[in-house]
Amino acid sequence: MQRRKFLSKAGAGIATGALLGAPAIADEKQVRWRLASSFPKSLDTLFGASEVISKYVSAASGGKFQISVHPAGEITPPFGVVDAVQQSAIECAHTAAYYFFGKDETFALGCAIPFGLNSRQTTAWMYHGNGLKLMREFYRQYGFISFPAGNTGAQMGGWFRKELKSVDDMKGLKMRIGGFGGRIIEKIGAVPQNIPAGDIYPALEKGTIDAAEWVGPYDDLRLGFYKIAQNYYYPAFWEGGAQLDLYVNLKAWEALPPEYQAMLEAACGYAHVDMQANYDVKNPQALKELYANGTKLHALPKDIMNAAFKAAMGYYEELSSKNANWKKVYEDLNTFRRDQNLWFRFAEAGFDDFMQAQKL
């Protein structure tokens, strides 16, 4: 069902009347929240998830629960949203958890880590494993609760001015890379730069950085990286399935009527599915357009992948020895990952390998 049709039906009474009970909603108070996004409006897939959530709760509540959505920089800087939620300056924020690994590396586990889970595995761990439970326990220390609210799927490895022949080419390379992945590429010789989306193009254009990654073809096309660096690598081993979250101030959440809590949770679940579906529709056409504009596609050299994998596994052991929060969550994720990979290598990978080799 298309988003607009879904929301119009929700507004007509399906969500409010049939599912939640119209009389109960009619008695509820007006609630006005502010949501700060870590993303600019120009990235409609990422920023758009916040708008999906806002429209859903408004329709479901008959307009009584309103969430105003604000792009990066309008209320807070892109990487300032956690502090704003924690300090009750805003009620909620839509962001990627790994941006905040500087506070505690455990944040990264709520989004994506190098050689972690793919998008389906992440969703499974969150909803039917221990992922959501463990991350919420961790986030309580910061005064908020989390709701999965989007996933990009596996990302691309980024845009490079020069072709990569081996791991030696990573030495001294200045690369814009978001979140936790920078820790690992640093260990194989690169120099990570954590730069917000809107600042990446000028940094690449001026030569301040040698390479940059963002998400994938659709967003990358809009950001224009192919005009400067035409070597496009895959995959992003640091983002096999990056999850986005809605962070909600705990006091604001607990003050919501139960009906509104249910609406917000359902809205996030819908946005979670909608984002990846949106990317999966838009990325193929964008990749064709990038290729038509001279983009050169390359797989990351095997020795880079191997060196990064070894560095990542060693680093995770190191973190487990000194960060109790990390150890608790990562050990559970690691066990889950092992079982998931045992399963996915058969039916899923077998089907995908065969189908992607066919000429349809």
| Residue 359 domain-assigned (yes or no) | no
The answer on 210 and 274 residing in a single domain is no
Instruction: Answer whether residue 288 is part of any domain.
Output: no
Last residue of a domain, one of 261, 281, 301: 281
Query: Does residue 27 sit within a domain?
Result: yes
CATH number at residue 260: 3.40.190.170
State the average pLDDT over residues 61-81.
97
pLDDT tens profile 272-318: 999 999 999 999 999 999 999 999 999 999 999 999 999 999 999 99
* Shared-domain flag, residues 29 and 87: yes
Residue whose token pair is 């007509």: 12
pLDDT score at 2 = 46
Residues 143 and 167 in one domain: no
- CA angle 224/227/233 to nearest 5° reads 80
Residues 143, 26 share a domain:
yes
**Residue 360 belongs to a domain:** no
Helix, strand, coil % (nearest 5) of the chain? 55, 15, 30
Q: What gap in Å lies between CA 256 and CA 265, rounded to an integer? A: 12
Q: What is the pLDDT of residue 21?
A: 43
Give the number of domains in the chain: 2
74's CB contacts (< 8 A; 6+ apart) are 36
One domain, residues 43 and 108: yes
Which pLDDT value is given to residue 25? 61
Residue 286 covered by a domain: no
- Coil vs helix vs strand at 231: strand
Task: Tell me: do 127 and 231 sit in the same domain.
Answer: no
Is 50 exceeded by the pLDDT of residue 4? no
Would you say residue 265 lies in a domain? yes
Whether residue 59 is found in the same domain as residue 138: yes
Instruction: Please tell me the distance from the alpha carbon of residue 263 to that of residue 231, in angstroms, as a whole number.
Output: 44
- pLDDT at position 41, please? 96
pLDDT at 24: 57
- Global pTM? 0.91
Tens-digit pLDDT profile for residues 224-262: 999 999 999 999 999 999 999 999 999 999 999 999 999
Instruction: Say whether pLDDT at 65 is over 80.
Output: yes
Residues 177 and 131 placed together within one structural domain of the fold:
no
Query: Domain check: are 187 and 247 in the same one?
Result: no
Residue numbers of the domain that contains 202: 158-239+293-354
Structural domain contains residue 103: yes
> What pLDDT score was predicted for residue 35?
98
Mean pLDDT of all residues in 47-58? 98
> How many angstroms separate the CA atoms of 91 and 79, rounded?
16
Axis crossing angle, helix 131-139 with helix 119-128, rounded to the nearest 10: 70
**In the prediction, which pLDDT does 20 show?**
44
In a domain, 8, yes or no: yes
- Using pLDDT thresholds of 50, 70 and 90, give the confidence band for residue 112: very high
Q: Is the pLDDT of residue 53 over 50?
A: yes
pLDDT at residue 28 greater than cutoff 90: no
Average pLDDT, rounded, for the chain:
93
Cα diameter, the chain: 67
Distance CA 44, CA 218 (A): 10
Confidence check: pLDDT of 179 > 90: no
pLDDT at residue 14, as a whole number: 34
Residue 74 has pLDDT above 50, yes or no: yes
CATH number at residue 220: 3.40.190.10
